[in-house]
Amino acid sequence: MLTTLLFLAATATTVPVPAAPQADYATAKAMADQDEASLPKLGLDTLRTAQSGVLERATQACKTDEPIKGFTVVVELDAKGKPVNHWRDADTKLAQCMEDKLSRQVFYVPPRAPFHVSFEVTFTK
């Protein structure tokens, strides 16, 4: 019996389990809009305050001389607020730097996971 089990184990083939599909930017942004809209006013105020602080730090670290254009970064948070995925809708150096900084910071512990938030950065004259 033991020999048969060992033989079966040795000859068994493993079928790889496909990874969960990665969302594209548009899907991630829609998820962020939905997650943020689901928060009560106090929760949304708390999120906005947390976003403001992390955005300020990222802005200080990502100065650039290139022409500036608006962009959005979406971050997926786990249950502890750790960023586990991120997307952006622009390929400028500033957008890339901001995505890098925003996707490394624990800044908000969400009410559920996964939870998506977006940072919409615009510039006006």
Task: Report pLDDT digits (tens) over 84-103.
Answer: 999 999 999 999 999 999 99
* Cis check: omega of the bond before 18, within 30 degrees of 0: no
CB 88 within 8 A of CB 74: yes
Alpha-carbon dihedral angle through residues 39, 30, 100, 68, given to the nearest 10 degrees: -110
Whether this model's pTM surpasses 0.75:
yes
Residues 22-59: tens digit of each pLDDT: 689 999 999 999 999 999 999 999 999 999 999 999 99
11 pLDDT more than 70: no
The reported pLDDT for the residue numbered 23 is 82
The residue that leads in pLDDT, 97 or 2, is 97
Mean pLDDT of the chain: 86
Cα–Cα dist 111/68, whole Å: 34
**Helix, strand, or coil (residue 30):** helix
